[in-house]
Amino acid sequence: MSFFDDIPAPPPPPQRHRVPSLDWVRPPSDELPVVLPVGRFLWRGGDTVVGVSHVEAYSTGCSIRIRWMLRRGSRTDGDWDTLLDRWMGQDRHSVEVLRFGVGLPDGQKVSTQNAPRSRSGSVTGPVLMAQAEAGASKSAVTGSVELWLYPLPSVGELLLVVEGALLGIPESTMALDAGEIRGAAQRSWAFWDSARQ
């Protein structure tokens, strides 16, 4: 008998719990998207502008990149400070903040305000998530928003909608070509060949 014969076998490895897919939360981190330039204003009026710079097409969805600006214009110090205080005090579900929505080619509608709050489970979609950054100065408030639309929309017209009562932005729309986005998504690149398996 060998020394090793009577040593008990190690216990089996613990079962790994399957982590739910979070594709609906954000773009894939291991994929190079195809960029479709847009370069159009979604809203432009008075002292406020909202522009769509481009769309990034991924295998699982698309990211719509938005830049916006509110300039002080002729507002007094008091009016500007009041507006900034109201802006900074808003939560994402307030009707005064910038809110975005998408009308899908199949007639469904999604909004950043009805995005799931829990990121612990899987979601079939459609979902519109927003990651935003903003900054303020004595003369302007500027920001950018990444809208993540999951999953990829079907072919047809994709209607992008913005509204922002606090910034004086009425409901405004822009049509995008979902077929062009789907075609670009087929040309996205996984960083490694095994990433899509």
> Could you read off the pLDDT of 128-174 as tens digits, one per residue?
999 988 888 889 988 899 999 999 999 999 999 999 888 889 999 99
Write a three-state SS string for the chain.
CCCCCCCCCCCCCCCCCCCCCCCCCCCCCCEECEEEEEEEEEEEECCEEEEEEEEEECCCCEEEEEEEEEECCCCCHHHHHHHHHHHHCCCCCCCCCCEEEEECCCCCEEEHHHCCCCCCCCCCCCEEEEEEEEEECCCEEEEEEEEEEECCCCCCEEEEEEEEHHHCEEEEEEEEEHHHHHHHHCCCEECCHHHHC
> Could you read off the pLDDT of 36-57 as tens digits, one per residue?
999 999 999 989 999 999 999 9
Residue linked to tokens 């004086």:
168
Tell me what the mean pLDDT of segment 89-97 comes to: 64
Q: Which amino acid is at 5?
A: D
- Where does the pLDDT of residue 15 fall: very low under 50, low under 70, confident under 90, or very high at 90 and above? low
The CATH code for residues 36-188 is 2.60.40
Residue 95 pLDDT > 70: no
- Where does the pLDDT of residue 13 fall: very low under 50, low under 70, confident under 90, or very high at 90 and above? low
Kind of pairing between the strands at 62-71 and 99-103: unpaired
Q: What is the CA radius of gyration of the chain?
A: 23
Residue 18 pLDDT > 60: no
Q: Taking the model in full, what pTM does it have?
A: 0.82
For residue 98, give the nearest of 52, 142, 164, 43 by alpha carbon: 164
